[in-house]
Chain A
Amino acid sequence: MAASPHTLSSRLLTGSVGGCVWYLERRTIQELPHRVTRLFRNVNNQWVMVQHLSFLKRMYVTQLHRGLSQRVKPKPEPATSPFLEHMSSGQARAEVDELPSLSASSLPLSQKPNEELMELKAASIVEHAVDTAKETKEERQWKEMKLHADDLPGILARLSKIKLTALVVSTTSAGFALAPGPFDWSCFLLTSLGTGLASCAANSINQFFEVPFDSNMNRTKNRPLVRGQISPLLAVSFATCCAVPGVALLTWGVNPLTGALGVFNIFLYTCCYTPLKRISIANTWVGAVVGAIPPVMGWTAATGSLDAGALLLGGILYSWQFPHFNALSWGLREDYSRGGYCMMSVTHPALCRHVALRHCLALIALSTAAPILNVTTWAFPIISLPINLYISYLGFRFYVDADRRSSRKLFFCSLWHLPLLLLLMLTCKQRPGREGDKGEAPS
């Protein structure tokens, strides 16, 4: 409906702004040429032009609307989205900046006695100049879709979400290291490489599926497929070239069980989690399983079997995902709602916080189960209690306060909590036949 920007602008321009405009109008009429040039110098103040020059209204109202809608959005950007582009507000400012340079050329016109005619003519020049400036600026932003060989490593790193892949590989390594038995370096390296390749493949396919959705979210709008740095065909080929050797390495270089878990995880992430994100909130639970499988893979790579220790480790990672993701999603509700993502934080906010708290407490329980299952010594639940209690406390605060501040605190805590927990587990690993110099409970 074309009327909406106008009704909006009239609503917006009531009150003090309208008063400001009226005041400026009065002064302009009283002191002619001087005021006209001053008016053009005041062009940076968008409010004046909207009231004064009706045919520029739509253009400036769009800028106004854009500028204001930026302010209406309540969110400060979370720290995990480093790719913020304040492009639209920057563009608006740049376009307005173009105008003062033109006021000098429009000065000769100010000598005419008929103020309105002057202003209309100058305004049309201004509008044309602004349009040209906009066009030139826009044209410079067009990029040739040509793939350069030097850019390829960086592009593929971003496509495969290399940082997330590194995190996944480190959880796999933790699983491998925590498993009983002698530490086999060659097996360890093959497992890490295989898991890394499988993760790259899964992440690439995920990005391949989500191009238009990623474009519309601040966190993800700088991904390679969104920016056209790589074609979908190349992304799929890369994913295949990672998945096949990765799974082969796991199946034949390590053991078939690990290979099967790798394939299953790729399938779960690309074919279940990714589409499910837009269908049901169950996606969070599926995603938590996806995060839990890598350490299980590390364990099965070392021992060849899926025993209780593997499931415990998987359980710890599974429970960790909830405070991590639910806290993160709390700040992204607007983007999720607009983009059509079904997340608990949007549809079931109370459940979202409840689940996060529940799983923080579950971490305490799982840490206590570790020595029972002979994964670690009894020192582990004791020395991990402070950090587990702290994250549970933040989970509780998030549950009660339900605000951005508590969600961010919980999210950032989860980022250091997991590596620290895994490190503590490793230091307290139950070694076979060792007496309790790490404070084992007396039998």
Chain B
Amino acid sequence: MAALRRGSEAIRLHLCRSFSGGVGRLARERGTERRDAASSRVSRFCPPRQSCHDWIGPPDKHSNLRPVHFHIPENESPLEQRLRELRQETQEWNQQFWANQNLTFNKEKEEFIYSRLQAKGSGLRTKSGQRTALDAEEMADFYKEFLSKNFQKHMRYNRDWYKRNFAITFFMGKVALEKMWNKLRQKPKKMST
């Protein structure tokens, strides 16, 4: 049991380390936007008191991810606490990555459209006053460029995401087994009293 605990601690530490490396880079790149995106999700939502489940919200406008409000039970075991913290941390990490990703995408897309329109010599607006849009084929150059620019970033993210996903599911399994074990232990006690 102690060895398992050490092992899972090692996983968490490793995840935190690999995460913090990425965070340092993100912080350097898009400081203000990241703060905006992360803080925009400080939701004022409070679940009803009698609920003992997690609550999931609507998709975030920047990251498109749905935030989860984790329920803290009164008799939370250390394992459950670790799982909840890991999930909370993963949620924040995901939120930062995708909010940054989407904001960067939209910003660079606007810049691309603007520069293309300037190069073409056409104005930002058509005669009817509507915003000029580039067609899909013109945008294709941007999509290709954006994808190749962010390839390494995605590789790092993929690796970390797979690790976290497995870790969370593994801990969920452990927590489920622990609960089942506790329930089985309680039953004979109740029967004996």
Contacts and interface: CB of A to CB of B under 8 A. Distances in A.
Given A74-B134, A221-B64, A232-B168, A141 B154 contact: no
A139 B98 CA distance: 22
B144 A347 contact: yes
Contacts of B66: 215, 226-228
A143 B150 CA distance: 34
Given A1-B33, A337-B146, A347-B148, A138 B58 contact: yes
A74 B133 contact: yes
A334 interface: yes
Contacts of A393: none
A136 to B, nearest CB: 11
Nearest to B94: A212
B154 A144 contact: no
Interface in A70-98: 71-72, 74-75, 87-88
B127 to A, nearest CB: 10
A342 B157 CA distance: 14
A236 B65 CA distance: 21
Contacts of B169: 208, 232-233, 236
A338 B113 contact: no
B136 interface: yes
Name the residue in A71, A212, A403, A404 with the highest tally of chain B Cβ atoms < 10 Å from its Cβ. A212
A371 to B, nearest CB: 42
Interface residues of B, number: 68
A216 interface: yes
Contacts of A231: 172
Given A74-B134, A278-B158, A337-B144, A142 B59 contact: no
B165 interface: yes
Contacts of A12: 124, 131
B61 A233 contact: no
A15 B130 CA distance: 11
21 contacts: A71-B133, A72-B109, A74-B135, A75-B136, A138-B45, A142-B58, A143-B57, A215-B66, A221-B59, A232-B168, A233-B172, A275-B162, A279-B155, A334-B143, A336-B143, A336-B147, A337-B144, A338-B102, A340-B154, A346-B140, A346-B147
Interface of B: 30, 32-33, 36, 43-45, 47, 51, 53-59, 61, 63-66, 68-69, 94, 98, 101-102, 105-107, 109-110, 113-114, 123-125, 129-131, 133-137, 139-140, 142-144, 146-148, 150-151, 153-155, 157-158, 161-162, 165, 168-169, 172-173, 176
